[in-house]
A and B are shown apart, each in its own frame.
Chain A
Amino acid sequence: MKARAFSYFRADTIDQALDAHARAGDDARFIAGGQSLVPALSLRLQAPRLLIDITHIAELRGVCREGDTLRIGALTRHCEMLTEPLIAAFAPLLRAAAPFVAHPAIRNRGTFGGSVALADPASEFPAMTLALDAEIEIAGPSGSRRLKADDFFIDLFETALQPGELITAVHVPLFRSNQRFAFDELARRRGDYALVGCGMLATQTGDRIDDIRISFFSVGNTPTRVKGAETALTGFSLDAARIAAAQAALDNDLAPPESDEVPPMMRLHLARVLLGRLLGRLGEGA
């Protein structure tokens, strides 16, 4: 099927993009990599009057250190997450997640900001912003603001973004030498959306976990932190009993939705298996 007719505008600055959106009476969509939006338009799930191309806005590009965070421009492509040295050094959890995002050609176009804005509950990067305690930098008609990832994801494909607001960058606290991370997902085939996926970041004193953030995806309407499991691990060294306690806590942390393909009990089981594996690796890597 073909998209419904629309007008196209290529913005050179953030202000032009915001202005165009407002003038279209918000009957507009920003297009970044287009790897999710173009299929949605082709299937006519969406039919805006105006498409605003944001990929030529220089202000949305680039990865750089800013104080004790890494600023990742919204237009950073998935493929750059694999090759950018600053990502590998200071946000290695994102580097670890990147190979699992779609296929090479989609990674060549898809953008980090687009993935976070879309907030697909099966996507890797939105969930990792939770594990990393990242902040989302947003520009809108009424100015700029920053929001914790914890406050950003609201419901299925629903975020705190208001119509006409643009994600300009994501800020990630710099990875430190006393931190450990782990990431993996279970999928039927490589490149497919995960049946269950998980990433975590632990801050340790020796073997003792002072703080841990664990985020799952493909388990519900939004990416999901599992706070019961986090609490079960905080203040302890990892051993079999602690891992079992964290796995048991998932029963309360997660409530996977009904689905014909993957029944809730199966998803919960897979989540326990995955959590066990990842905590095992976290222990070995320490």
Chain B
Amino acid sequence: MSGIGDDMLAEEVNETVRVRFIVNGRKVACDVAPRETLVDCLRNVLELTGTHAGCEMGACGACLVRLDGRSVHSCLMFAVQADGARIDTIEGLSESGVIADLQAEFHRRNALQCGFCTPGMLVNAHELLSQVARPSREEIRDALSGNYCRCTGYEAIVDAIDVVAKARSEGGAA
């Protein structure tokens, strides 16, 4: 990329730019205004509404997605920053089956009520279990510290993640 041209700053602030990402394994291109956040782009442009927009300031965790394999808040970045990145949303994680056991356990234990927080909880739990095979309950709570749930009281969520962690590591050891 060459240096910025003076023309770029003139009255162009409302213009859109073309961005390309790989979303849930598919190449997509879309035109966005630089000020459009990734969560807005995913929900409004790509119609992937599983990613939720709650506080839109990094506090609630409802908007978590995976960006190049790491969980990030999609409300805390602009879509243009993600140009060229690989993004996996809750839709992609669900379809691929990698979190099927977590989803089943959340369901079984009533670890969701309204479900608003659930996509973020699952993205977060998925990352935790990919980094720490057998987290303690304390570690699970710590990892979830940035994810708010207004319904469940968290206990069932921690239970579900705990059970899946044990099942996975026993399954892996067998």
Contact = CB atoms under 8 A, between A and B. Distances in A.
Interface of A: 1-12, 16, 19-20, 23-24, 31, 34-35, 38-39, 41-43, 49-51, 53, 55, 79, 99, 102-106, 108-109, 189-191
B61 A103 contact: yes
Interface string B72-90: 1101111011010000000
B127 A35 contact: no
Nearest to B2: A16
A22 B4 CA distance: 11
Contact of A108 (B6, B61, B71): B71
B67 to A, nearest CB: 8
B47 interface: no
Name the residue in A19, A35, A55 with the highest tally of chain B Cβ atoms < 10 Å from its Cβ: A35
Interface residues of B, number: 39
B72 A105 contact: yes
B81 A34 contact: yes
A6 B8 CA distance: 10
Contacts of A35: 58, 73, 76
A9 to B, nearest CB: 5
Looking at chain A's contact residues, the main secondary structure is mixed
B84 to A, nearest CB: 9
Looking at chain B's contact residues, the main secondary structure is mixed
Contacts of A109: 72-73, 76-77
Contacts of A12: 1
Given A105-B124, A108-B72, A8 B146 contact: no
B146 A191 contact: yes
Interface of B: 1, 3-4, 6, 8-9, 12-14, 17, 33-35, 37, 56-58, 61, 64, 70-73, 75-78, 80-81, 83, 124, 127-128, 141-143, 145-147
A6 B13 CA distance: 5
Nearest to A108: B70
Contacts of A108: 70-72
Contact of B34 (A5, A34, A43, A191): A5
A20 B5 CA distance: 8
A140 B127 CA distance: 38
Contacts of B83: 10
B107 to A, nearest CB: 24
A115 to B, nearest CB: 14
A109 B58 CA distance: 12
